[in-house]
């Protein structure tokens, strides 16, 4: 098995359980803050499965940044695509957003902005840390 596929699966399995935990926390908060909040067993089961798959994909997708043969744009595009697809499917399947083109476009725009902010922040932190380490070594 390809070492990257194996790493994707190992990371996904290791961290996938955090999705349902977070869903449970969110639902617990909603139960105490939203009047008459209730979910069916099917809704809870669907949320557990989809948030597990979301966390699995998100954890696994981190492997794309470690494939040395790939260019940075290629790895970022693959990472973005997997994460976006996982979030979009999870949100649509759970009816957390309605399947209306305007809503999907708004979700997509917010997702892109958030993704860019997070990755630019990480990029600048890593670059700054690298410069500091190079100064210490030089």
CA 112, 116, 122, 123 torsion: positive or negative? positive
| 72 shares a domain with 28 | yes
CB atoms within 10 A of CB 16: 19
pLDDT digits (tens, 9 = 90+) for 58-98: 999 989 988 889 998 999 999 999 999 999 999 999 999 99
Q: Quick check: 58 and 13 in contact, CB under 8 A?
A: no
- Residue 106's pLDDT is 97
| 79 shares a domain with 24 | yes
Distance between CA atoms of 63 and 97, rounded to whole angstroms?
Answer: 29
Range of the domain at 43: 1-96
| 4 shares a domain with 47 | yes
- Residue 1's pLDDT is 63
Q: What is the pTM of this model?
A: 0.80
Task: Work out how many domains the chain is built from and give that number.
Answer: 2
| 124 shares a domain with 71 | no
53: pLDDT confidence band, cut at 50, 70 and 90? very high
The mean per-residue pLDDT over the stretch 14-43 comes to 87
């Amino acid at each position: 098995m390809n070492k990257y596929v194996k790493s994707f699966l190992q990371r996904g399995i290791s961290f996938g359980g955090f999705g349902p935990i977070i869903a449970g926390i969110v639902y617990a908060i909603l139960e105490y803050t939203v009047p008459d909040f209730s979910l069916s067993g099917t809704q809870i089961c669907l949320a557990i499965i989809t948030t597990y798959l979301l966390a699995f994909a998100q954890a696994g997708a981190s492997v794309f940044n470690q494939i040395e043969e790939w260019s940075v744009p290629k790895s970022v595009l693959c990472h973005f695509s997997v994460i976006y697809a996982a979030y979009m499917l999870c949100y649509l399947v759970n009816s957390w957003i309605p399947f209306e083109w305007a809503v999907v476009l708004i979700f997509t725009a917010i997702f892109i902005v958030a993704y860019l902010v997070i990755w630019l922040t990480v990029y600048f932190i890593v670059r700054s840390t690298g410069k500091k380490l190079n100064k210490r070594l030089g």
